[in-house]
Amino acid sequence: MENAYGEAERVTMIEEVLASAPPPWHSIALIGSVLAIFVQMLPSWDEIDQVATLDTFSKSEAWIGGPLQLGIYRFIIALTIWSTSLYLLCGPGWSLLTSWKPGSKLRSGATIRLQGIKTMFPFTSWSWNMLGLSYSLNALIALSVATGQDVWIAQLQNNWLLRLALIVWEVAAPCVILVSTVIRFAIWEMLLKAGGDTSNLKSFRNVMMHNANAFFVVLEVSLLGGLPVRFNEASLAPLFGVCYVIFTWNMANRWTERKHGPQFIYFFFDTTMGKVTTIALVCLLCALLIFYALFATARIVLDSLSGVFKQANDGDDYSVTELACHASFALLLTSAVCRFRDHW
């Protein structure tokens, strides 16, 4: 009788596993609306060319020294980012144990194994690699200017390298801060409340991709080259986010074995939660736009302060007060989004 009962229970559990988990109609409508709105808002090439110049990517803050030092710093950071990604690709990978919120129709307890190319599939990796591409392009441009080898950039058809560098930077900056914020305030907290293991979040790769990533972005904005994040290009980051949402919807049945049914690596992408699914997407979009606006505003404020300090110091390159203001911004923003332990 026990064997018969156990077999019946096992069959029932198998029958309860969903064959698919398509997003609700209102989530599809939201993504369609976001696409329509932000595609229409895309900047023209002329608008991008206004700031996508050699001077933009080779100009450094006064305390850096010049384009050569700027290029070297950027190159070191780019090398750090790509080394981490290479380690993930060639390393042992890691496993995620799914745990869904009450009301979800997905099966909890499934193990998602991320190894090899799959380590590049989380949004964290997408943003991390975009940041690596940004620092690589920015370093290349700065070093080319510093060594007098920048003619080839100007000769490229349609200014494509400078345009690409600006676009990649303005996508990477807000997305990286979004990743760090979500990890600190959502994913880490959910694991703690569920009594889950947070050791993965404290690993070296996560310290780099959840904390160092934010530091690298803020470092560029406030202390290195001060690359712009402009409201004109505010549509770029949300469109990048939409691409990832569509990607993760299509990956639902590919993260793990089919016997576990559809799964996601982020709990807020659960497509079986009804209106909560769409609310989560709206919250992520709003957070991304807020971070974009934060960077755009911060750069304007920092530039204004620099002008005020130069006037007060009779045109000197910079003052200790100016450096302190830039460093304080970097420290405050980084400390607000980074997390290293369970208890703050």
Distance CA 87, CA 41 (A): 38
Residue 10 within any structural domain of the chain:
no
Residue 16 within any structural domain of the chain:
no
Which parts of the chain have pLDDT scores under 50? 1-15
> How high is the pLDDT of residue 317?
62
Containing H/E element for 73?
helix 67-90
Distance CA 175, CA 164 (A): 17
- As for how many domains the chain has, the answer is 1
The one-letter amino acid code at 45 reads W
Give the structural domain span for 247. 23-337
Residue 64 within any structural domain of the chain:
yes
Radius of gyration of the chain (CA): 23
Residue 3 within any structural domain of the chain:
no
Distance CA 61, CA 51 (A): 17
Percent of the chain with pLDDT over 90: 78
Residue 285 within any structural domain of the chain:
yes
Query: Does this model's pTM top 0.75?
Result: yes
> How high is the pLDDT of residue 237?
97
Contact 31, 281 (CB under 8 A): yes
Residue 171 within any structural domain of the chain:
yes
Residue 308 within any structural domain of the chain:
yes
Contact 148, 113 (CB under 8 A): no
> How high is the pLDDT of residue 311?
67
Contact 69, 60 (CB under 8 A): yes
> How high is the pLDDT of residue 268?
95
Distance CA 151, CA 16 (A): 64
The closest alpha carbon to 198, from 91, 99, 80, 333, belongs to: 99
Residue 342 within any structural domain of the chain:
no
